[in-house]
């Protein structure tokens, strides 16, 4: 659902809105007719320091001119955190053919979570609905790392992709589509979120701040519900459904959202100078051959802090989720997406 239009700006192309998609009426969800289908565009106008809203306003006339005869287009503007989750759930229940996230990885993350409720997929409540709602993306945010996995072009085809789910002591379910990560990288992401006004530079600022007082930690992990094992001196542990995070770092290079598995990459006993010396390898995805870096393919991984002191950060898709312990599992073919 993405097509390059120069300078890193992406627009929806008409090939993505062929007759198999259902668009959304401009005034009210659920007003689809037999001739037109419903598309819901979930827009974060404040993304990328307001650039998302500006670029979206430029796209609206294009979308209406290209799709107006075939589709009902609903523009849903988010007003704050978690609003995109509520918009998505309502759209799915009202039988929308597709919900398209317009923004960065944070907006996409919320839309993905809107596809689920209480650990189960949200379903249409429209009796005559014969299809599932698809996920789409127009990447106009700060990082837009998930889009990098698929490149900058689109075939406009529907395909089911995996998602990850994170559970903890509260038994709540939190979903992610890109990368979940633990300890240093998650702490860096937490700090980076405070500096989004600086664009991709926020990731560097966040990493520098996270290094202050950082200590590698021994963690207990359990793979695929097997025996517990100790993973010593962990610097960062990254669980990828897709390949990139942190503004273009190819951290889980073998991850594939069609594989029905998650890739786990573990960095152990790294010092600050290791990141400086090996940063180019982390961005290019050639770091798996580096000393103290390992990777494996899993269905699930549970992670606990051995020290019992707490304070080991975890995030997914750049969103802070609290602290360990957590269990991360794959949901095979969890969402239908327009690619």
Residues that are catalytic = 105
Neighbours of 220 (CB within 10 A): 15
CB of 154 within 8 A of CB of 13?
yes
Q: What is the DSSP string of 127-168?
A: TT--SPPEEEEEE-SS--HHHHHT-S-----EEEEEEEEEE-
Q: d(Cα 328, Cα 178) in Å, to the nearest integer? A: 13
- Is the CA virtual torsion 12, 15, 16, 22 positive or negative? positive
The distance from CA 167 to its chain's CA centroid, rounded to whole angstroms, is 17
The distance from CA 13 to its chain's CA centroid, rounded to whole angstroms, is 22
Q: d(Cα 131, Cα 157) in Å, to the nearest integer? A: 15
- Is the CA virtual torsion 3, 316, 86, 168 positive or negative? positive
Please, is 128 exposed, middle or buried when counting C-beta atoms within 10 Å of its C-beta (0-12, 13-18, 19+)?
A: exposed
Strands 116-117 vs 98-103: parallel, antiparallel or unpaired: unpaired
Q: d(Cα 315, Cα 110) in Å, to the nearest integer? A: 13
Neighbours of 286 (CB within 10 A): 13
Q: d(Cα 290, Cα 269) in Å, to the nearest integer? A: 12
Please, is 285 exposed, middle or buried when counting C-beta atoms within 10 Å of its C-beta (0-12, 13-18, 19+)?
A: middle
CB of 93 within 8 A of CB of 300?
no
- Tokens representing 106 are 């944070």
């Amino acid at each position: 659902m993405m097509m390059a239009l120069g300078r890193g700006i992406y627009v929806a192309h008409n090939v993505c809105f062929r007759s198999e998609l259902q668009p959304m009426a401009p005034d009210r969800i659920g007003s689809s007719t037999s001739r037109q289908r419903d598309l819901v565009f979930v827009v974060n106008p404040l993304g990328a320091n307001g650039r998302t809203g500006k670029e979206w306003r430029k796209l609206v006339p294009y979308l209406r001119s290209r799709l107006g005869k075939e589709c009902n287009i609903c523009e849903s503007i988010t007003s704050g955190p978690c609003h995109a989750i509520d918009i998505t759930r309502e759209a799915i229940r009202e039988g929308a053919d597709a919900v398209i996230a317009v923004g960065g990885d944070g907006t996409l993350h919320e839309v993905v979570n809107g596809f689920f409720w209480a650990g189960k997929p949200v379903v249409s409540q429209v009796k005559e609905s014969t299809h599932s709602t698809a996920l789409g993306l127009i990447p106009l945010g700060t990082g837009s790392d998930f889009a990098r996995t698929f490149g900058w072009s689109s075939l406009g085809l529907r395909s089911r992709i995996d998602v990850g789910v994170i559970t903890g002591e509260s038994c709540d379910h939190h979903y992610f589509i890109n990368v979940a990560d633990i300890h240093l990288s998650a702490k860096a992401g937490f700090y980076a979120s405070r500096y989004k006004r600086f664009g991709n530079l926020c990731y560097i600022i966040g990493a520098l701040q996270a290094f202050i007082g950082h200590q590698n930690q021994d963690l207990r992990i359990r793979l695929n519900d097997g025996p517990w094992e100790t993973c010593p001196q962990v610097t960062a542990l990254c669980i990828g459904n897709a390949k990139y995070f942190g503004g273009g770092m190819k951290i889980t290079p073998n991850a594939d959202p069609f594989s029905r598995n998650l890739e786990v990459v573990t960095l152990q006993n790294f010092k600050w100078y290791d990141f400086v010396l090996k940063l180019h390898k982390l961005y290019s995805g050639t770091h798996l051959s580096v000393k103290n870096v390992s990777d494996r393919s899993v269905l699930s991984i549970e992670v606990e802090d051995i020290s019992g002191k707490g304070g080991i950060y975890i995030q997914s898709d750049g969103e802070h989720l609290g602290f360990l312990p957590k269990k991360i599992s794959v949901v095979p073919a969890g969402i239908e997406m327009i690619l």
